[in-house]
Amino acid sequence: MADNELLAKSAVLQRLKRFFDVFQENMENYPYVVDLHTGVTMVARRMVEYFALPGEIVTDFHDLWKPLIYSDDLPKYESLLEEAFDSGSSASYDLEYRVKNSDGQYGWVWGRGSTSYDESGQPDFFVGVIMRMDWVLHADPVTGLLNRYAFEMDLKNVVERAEEENAAGAVITVGLDNFHILYDTYDHAYSDSVMKEIGVSIANVLPSHLNLYKLDGDSFAIIWPDVTPDEIAIIFAGIQICLRELKTMNDKVYFSASAGVVFYPESGYDTRALYRYSQAALQMAQQRGKEQLSFFSHEEYQEWLKFTNLQRSFEDSIERGCEGFLLYYQPQVDARTQKLIGCEALLRWQEPTGEIISPVVFIPILERTRLIVPVGSWVVNEAIRTCKEWQKYLPGFEMSVNVSLCQLETFDFHSVVEEALTRYDLPPECLVLELTESQSVSNWDFVNDQFDRFRKMGVKVAMDDFGVGNSSLGLLKNFNCDIVKVDKVFVDDILVSEFDRKLVKSTVQLCQGIGMTVCIEGVEEKEAYEYLANECDVDVIQGFYFGRPEPKTIFEQRFQK
């Protein structure tokens, strides 16, 4: 029957309809009322339009509504509704599910409703309301998954309930390791479609009672009550397998994900903190490399906070011309004459409190964030300027500067060095570039090409930390350098170990035999120096015995002697 016919038949319905119209006008969501005696249902006008229902008054609402519900969500809907009708006056239904709209697209809705009963205890009315998730900002527009807003609401509800019941669970954030490559390479419509596929794949791996939420950027979240680390590890492995099977255009990009996990109540019941901790654990996982699963710990978090704060300070510092960074200089002496011939420039960071921070702490942060590139350029300029200044005390004075692999990989590193040499008028022969992480070089042709350009100009190239890590001999064969800096581990025990004495001696002979200059680092004692100079005939010594790294003004006092 059409709306008008039904209305004309019943004065009660007419009155009810007037009430309902005022009611629906004042509501953002879509209300509907089912008369359970007759089946006559009043549906909000905007709900009729949005879901293409046949009219505002219908007699068979549930038969019209059910076919619009996404098939996976239908069983849950039906069983909840049955409960709401069957189980007495307090029953209500409350469910998030997907419904097809007039465009044929499925969207998430949040449906709530309950039944009222008449004097004889018979079901009287069912009053329901449908909220569109995209309205209450629940659905992520790209993936259709629940979004960050929904995540925050659910997390609050789940954790509050857990606190009441003394229950446990986990918050997991999953981040894609290399999605940005796709995002930077292809158009956004394409990367959006891949993101959607990724969302579906991850959701499929999860147990069916869990929701997958899409957070900002390329991360997802899961709230998992009552779960063990092992269960999480299994699902995490499943996610990797699914992602690996997902290939993109031309099969060029393969995806992987890392995840951070925090457990409640171990880390408290404060939802904001839990979310922050899971994000931090994810970032820690990603810093460790790809496909990492990281469980939150307070100790690691404190470390991570320190790192993050430092990183922020570095970014500010770089904006202000590397203010706060300092160079210390450590003397290098001719092993035979003990005369000062040069120094190594060693970076320091000074906290606003005045505390000086060691490069062992912050160089890894600068490298990981690539901030070493601007800071490294500052080092080059500062060191070359100082070297030129000191040549007036000691002509030919040499300056060694550390270079990270990622500096070498930037297209303008060569011109940064060349311009600094010209600007401060330093002869290129007085500059030594030390490659600090030869262990991690995978493309020696590239590195040699880069350094050969410097060597042609007259700049010398050194291999730093020889003997640390594996296959140093292999490095000698791969790397075209002029100087080998033998690491402190070679000299630490030469005063107590005959073997170490023989080892360092043959190492020096080997390097010199193939035409390298040998500089020994970490010499702290007179006897060690004497053995190295007299028995091993090394070329250069750098170590605390001749001087620690010192600020510029202190180092300058050496020239007055």
Q: Which two tokens stand for residue 297?
A: 């710990």
Examine residue 177 and tell whether it contacts Ca ion (CB under 5 A): no
Phi, psi for 383 (deg, rounded to 5)? -70, -40
Examine residue 360 and tell whether it contacts ligand C2E (CB under 6 A): yes
Examine residue 218 and tell whether it contacts ligand C2E (CB under 6 A): no
Examine residue 492 and tell whether it contacts ligand C2E (CB under 6 A): no
Q: How far is the CB of 327 from Ca ion (least distance, A)?
A: 13
Q: Which of 258, 279, 386, 404 touches ligand C2E by CB under 6 A? A: 404
Q: Mark the segment that binds Ca ion (CB under 5 A) among 5-13, 227-235, 322-330, 401-409.
A: 401-409
Examine residue 292 and tell whether it contacts ligand C2E (CB under 6 A): no
What does 359 bind: Ca ion, ligand C2E, none (CB cut-off 5 to 8 Å by kind)? ligand C2E
Q: How far is the CB of 465 from Ca ion (least distance, A)?
A: 4
Examine residue 523 and tell whether it contacts ligand C2E (CB under 6 A): yes
Q: In what order do the strands lie in the sheet with 293-295?
A: 146-147, 212-214, 219-225, 169-176, 257-264, 293-295
- Residues 276 and 352: their CA atoms lie apart, in Å, by 27
DSSP-derived secondary structure for 184-202: HHS-HHHHHHHHHHHHHHH
Q: How far is the CB of 286 from ligand C2E (least distance, A)?
A: 22
DSSP state of 533: I
Q: Mark the segment that binds Ca ion (CB under 5 A) among 53-61, 202-210, 253-261, 434-442.
A: 434-442
Q: How far is the CB of 388 from ligand C2E (least distance, A)?
A: 18
State the alpha helices, DSSP H only, in 126-256. Answer: 148-165, 179-185, 188-205, 229-245
Examine residue 439 and tell whether it contacts ligand C2E (CB under 6 A): no
315 contact partners, CB below 8 Å, separation of at least 6: 371
CA distances from 294 to 21, 211, 306 (A): 54, 21, 18
Q: In what order do the strands lie in the sheet with 123-132?
A: 57-58, 41-43, 30-35, 123-132, 106-117, 92-100
- Residues 41 and 33: their CA atoms lie apart, in Å, by 5
Q: Which two tokens stand for residue 135?
A: 């309205």
Examine residue 427 and tell whether it contacts ligand C2E (CB under 6 A): no
Examine residue 464 and tell whether it contacts Ca ion (CB under 5 A): yes
Residue 270 one-letter amino acid: D
Q: How far is the CB of 358 from ligand C2E (least distance, A)?
A: 5
Stretch 451-490 residues interacting with ligand C2E (CB under 6 A): 464-465, 488
What does 428 bind: Ca ion, ligand C2E, none (CB cut-off 5 to 8 Å by kind)? none
DSSP state of 166: T
Q: How far is the CB of 360 from ligand C2E (least distance, A)?
A: 5
Helix (H), strand (E) at residue 4 = helix 3-9
Q: How far is the CB of 346 from ligand C2E (least distance, A)?
A: 4
Stretch 537-556 residues interacting with Ca ion (CB under 5 A): none
521, β-bridge pairs: 542
Q: Which of 58, 81, 202, 379 touches ligand C2E by CB under 6 A? A: 379
Q: How far is the CB of 487 from Ca ion (least distance, A)?
A: 6
**Binding residues for Ca ion (CB under 5 A):** 402, 434, 464-465, 521
Contacts with ligand C2E by CB under 6 A lie at 330, 346-347, 358-360, 363, 372, 376, 379, 402, 404, 436, 464-465, 488, 521-524, 542-544, 549
